[in-house]
Structure 1
């Protein structure tokens, strides 16, 4: 029996057309363009408005992936959508995307791993592809973060933008075509309340006035910065050591696009030149799980050469790093 692997055959991305500047945010909350740029490096972000929800962004990425890979929708066997801003709690956003693509042969489900979602989604898809039951899989990360923001909270709202990105994996029996070289996924649930969004409180009584409500996105900015700039670099170093790679051997690093200052600090702690770190956060803001695949699609060379390091980290606290070949 032949061993089955997964190869990465295409990447794609999509951001909504509406650009929101720092000055526009400064008109509705106590902040300034100078403050946002100095603290985050972000100049603009894109917002989806009432004609686009999370499934719409994901579907547009799916269409692009199919076109790039020269596949039809009915050739897709698996669709994984990673998101913390779904269209609804149920049905899964992936199910909606499956219907919009008319990918009638695909099993579809969501993964909620926050900003680490794309790395976690790729890992899950890889294991499923190895079973030999799936020929082609779409892993799409899509977020409409703007709909979950508290626009009186400048410590959170100024960071986030909307967008979607993804990858298409295809079955192969050729080992050196396998996209996954090594990975390390972790969770620290003791710090789960550091970042939260969409919490729904239990009932206090049976009453006709009961109606479900959710809370807006919240993050403890200082704790997030400390986690991202200490725990995450250590995970990356351990992954590279276990896989017997030196940082200099990497073609590119694509971190979660949390903010530019975090990326700069991770770069320093790894002792790598900053030009090896792909980044789009200045233009698109923090797109949660979508940041890595959007940046992978738009900023990294697609070659079969040196490995690319992906590193996602966020609510959970979930964090995962992965060495891949394109």
Structure 2
């Protein structure tokens, strides 16, 4: 049974709007979960490698940590956190994502929540905090686009229905398990989306290959059958099951807008390094293209079901 009892909220001190906290508080009230507020503090003068005397660098470090702690404490008595069990953590880390990953590895959080903003090419090249968090955090990560409440009662779960390897099957099962849990709790409609390739476009890049006339029909039927199998497993109606021809990052945003999805649940294999910059991850590409919140799931997140 999947439950969301412990929520970690990652707060960036440079953000003017903490809409991730607003969403996390709403979820915590609805799910009867506790909340941990986390931020980081760091300065080279307070670091152990500083050239300053140990007592001076320690004083700087203590002062910066206390300032961050006071900042977190200022949220505890606010109306949105009233009657919730709230904990706080300040980590001495240069990067916020390192602090969040460190905390998530030490504590079994069921969900990590963070505000997100549009990202540019520079963010991709230098691996923005959000990218690191989605790839490395050992828990599902909810990226919140705005403080607006979910109002259309629709969750869109995006899967790769025909993948047969264990990793993708685990991602699919975890995506749909989390989506189903949220849909059941909040009495929202659960939709499934499966994007599949346009074979003619792919084969056009290989002139020496002549594709059979009915190849696209065959591919479409394969994806339709595979998607319906997942839909039956999670009791999703046929009219809530969507096939989209094309790359996921190109077709899912239009579908999400069409059905007015409040939340898009998507998986990632957490590709790091140069390949992550050049090739990217679907979850990261979708994050800037959809209007709703994005919940990012990895193979080992949450439940670990037996794959059929």
User: Normalised by the size of structure 1, how large is the TM-score?
Assistant: 0.29
Which structure has the greater CA radius of gyration? 2
TM-score by length of 2: 0.30
Q: Greater RCO between the two (CA within 8 Å, min separation 6)?
A: 1
Q: Which has the higher helix share?
A: 2
